Amino acid sequence: MNVILVLIIAATSLRCFGGEDVLYPKDITRKMPDGSITVCNGLDGKNGWVSFEGKVLEVQSGGIRIQGAFAGEPASGVSYGYIRLDGNDLGNEKEFFVAHFPYDVAEGDWIGDNRQTKTFYMAKEAGTYTYSTVLGGSRTIRKLEYGTPYTPPPLPPPTPEQIAAAKSKAVADKKTNEEKGLKYNQELAAKGDPYGLFRMGERYRDGDGVPKDLAKARDYFTKAVAAGSPSAADELSRLDRSTNAPSGTSGPVP
């Protein structure tokens, strides 16, 4: 029969948030029958999400009956049913019910052919489902709950207080980052690093984080040139031309 289990796949490829090579229906957020809102957030073996696929046996008002398989991440130990790789003539398959499946399907359709279309359908384990057979008996099978695709309402616009707080935080964050950058450049310059000396020259030239001081800028550029910075030589030449003063006339930088 050459039957193969096709749902035991690496957990990294079973992300409900999708990936480059995996397509998911755009219904990540679901409303469950109890009214709770849940997010299909991957198969970690604890939250009950499984990937399912198989052939549609019957379409009912409350869901679809499938002949196929479902499984969670291999580490979760959830595995139910085997199917053939080509999706034809199932062998060793299992029958299960997917409640509230929201997409239009017909008997005989294939759901979730992940090896061909790379599409996964996700649902949660939800106990069992019992239905009446054509011979008047009943049959109890495993049940999955798909939930109802749910679009959260838009967030309310931010209040003036929230806007002010966000602006204040942005200003504080910018100041912190600038102080870190200045300290980093100062430490490098103190070690005689050409990049640190060059950056301190730029800072004093432009008044970037320090008071503008062309004399100190010239001295830092001069030291950067001596340390091997070709860029500093160009900046020193420009600075000398702009100030019309010879290089090396400033006092040393403390």
136 & 232 share domain? no
The residue among 98, 130, 149 that closes a domain is: 149
pLDDT of residue 91: 52
**pLDDT, greater one: 185 or 30:** 185
Question: What integer is the mean pLDDT of 39-62?
Answer: 76
Q: How confident is the model at residue 124 (pLDDT cuts 50, 70, 90)?
A: confident
176 & 121 share domain? no
pLDDT of residue 214: 94
Q: How confident is the model at residue 188 (pLDDT cuts 50, 70, 90)?
A: very high
What pLDDT, in 10s, does the model give residues 6-47? 332 322 333 343 333 444 455 667 778 888 777 765 544 456
Q: Is residue 154 included in any domain, yes or no?
A: no
pLDDT of residue 28: 66
Q: How confident is the model at residue 216 (pLDDT cuts 50, 70, 90)?
A: very high
Q: What angle do CA 169, 179, 194 make, to 5 degrees?
A: 145
The residue among 149, 174, 206 that closes a domain is: 149
* Residue 221 three-state SS: helix
Q: Is residue 253 included in any domain, yes or no?
A: no
The residue among 149, 171, 199 that closes a domain is: 149
176 & 200 share domain? yes
Please say whether the beta carbons of 141 and 95 come within 8 A: yes
Full residue range of the structural domain in which residue 22 is found = 11-149
User: CB burial class (10 A; 0-12, 13-18, 19+) of residue 13?
Assistant: middle
Q: How confident is the model at residue 74 (pLDDT cuts 50, 70, 90)?
A: very low
141 & 37 share domain? yes
User: CB burial class (10 A; 0-12, 13-18, 19+) of residue 119?
Assistant: middle
